[in-house]
Amino acid sequence: MTQIAGQQSIKFDKSAHIISAASIVGKKEGEGPLGKLFDLVGEEASFGENTWEEAESTLQREACQLALGKAKLLPTQMRYVFCGDLLGQLIASSFGVMNFNIPMFGLYGACSTCGESLSLGAMAVSADYADYVMAVTSSHFGSAEKQFRFPLEYGNQRPLAATWTVTGSGAFILAKKGGHARITGITTGKIVDYGVKDSLNMGACMAPAACDTIYQNLMDFNRQPDDYDKIITGDLGYVGQTILIDLLKEKGFDISRVHMDCGIEIYDRETQDTHSGGSGCGCSAVTLAAKILPNVEKGAWKRVLFVPTGALLSPTSFNEGQSVPGIAHGVVIEHC
């Protein structure tokens, strides 16, 4: 029996179970609304390292170790690790997971990498290519600003549409059975480019891709928005959320009642100076681990559509005047 669903989706005959999840964040994230839900909150942004990049690798390494400990598994039991980050050549991931000595797939989906890693991990487990796999991603405010925008010492003025890169890492272990949450389907996103060139307005860049993936998921699975307890985007923020809801209404779907955005959830708009909300690979990953999965595991949410969103730019493409395409990957997670 085929597992192919519609044009872009897979409906798994054998679901991959999420048997453990871990979240580590920085001090600013720990001071936000989800602060008490994270496994570990760092007291200083360097996490004891000499550079932002080394700090981000430490985030990944510690998140993986926590996830393994929760699952009572060893690195040698992991068939593969699917990992990625925002930095050039994925250096946060390669230096972060290197000493675990696990066969590695390095991924770049920008801020959608959590969805990409979970999708590929679920495919591997469902197809019997692995008993256990790990999916991990991260971002760090300091390393992202240094690479994509301005050195922190520059003290540049941030526009109100800008989002704040989350300092954090989320790690997940997938298996054939166990736990109380499972991945029952995925919708792989396409690159969508509306010609937006404002690299500080991530919400506007990524909302069209989120719209495309959510719409295709509803079509491929023959569902309505209310068939999900929550439709959760990764890091659109307040600006992107408004655009997404309007775009989907044009396609005949109103998700306003069930929509949630990790970038909105992770910071307090009134007390934290983060403007439109949060972004970065770590944004959706730590929110999934700390808030979304616990609600699914206890049955408060029976089925959610998790849609991390990414902006596919580099310093080179931006400086050469290119637009900022977006991509979003949908993961259907259900209580079991």
Q: What is the DSSP string of 178-212?
A: -SSEEEEEEE----B------TT-HHHHHHHHHHH
CB 201 within 8 A of CB 239: yes
pLDDT along the chain (336 residues), means of 10: 90 97 96 96 90 94 98 98 95 96 96 97 97 97 73 56 83 96 98 86 90 98 98 94 97 98 92 82 97 98 97 86 95 97
CATH code (residue 201): 3.40.47.40
Could you tell me if 189 and 316 lie in one domain? yes
- Say how far apart CA 331 and CA 307 lie, in whole Å: 6
Domain range spanning residue 199?
181-333
Could you tell me if 145 and 247 lie in one domain? no
Residue ranges in 98-201 assigned as alpha helix (H)? 113-126, 141-148
- What tens digit of pLDDT does each residue of 175-233 get? 999 999 999 999 999 999 998 887 777 788 899 999 999 999 999 999 999 999 999 99
- Amino acid identity at 21: A
Could you tell me if 194 and 97 lie in one domain? no
Half-sphere exposure of 55 (CA within 13 A, CB side): 22
- Per the DSSP assignment, residues forming a β-bridge with 107 are 84
Please tell me the predicted confidence (pLDDT) of residue 154.
47
CA quadruple 124, 93, 293, 216: dihedral sign: negative
Number of domains in the chain: 2
Average pLDDT, the chain: 93
Q: Calculate Rg over the CA atoms of the chain.
A: 18
Could you tell me if 121 and 239 lie in one domain? no
- What tens digit of pLDDT does each residue of 72-95 get? 999 999 999 999 999 999 999 999
Q: Of 139, 155, 173, which marks where a domain is finished?
A: 173
CB 277 within 8 A of CB 261: yes
Could you tell me if 238 and 310 lie in one domain? yes
pTM equals 0.95
- Say how far apart CA 234 and CA 249 lie, in whole Å: 20
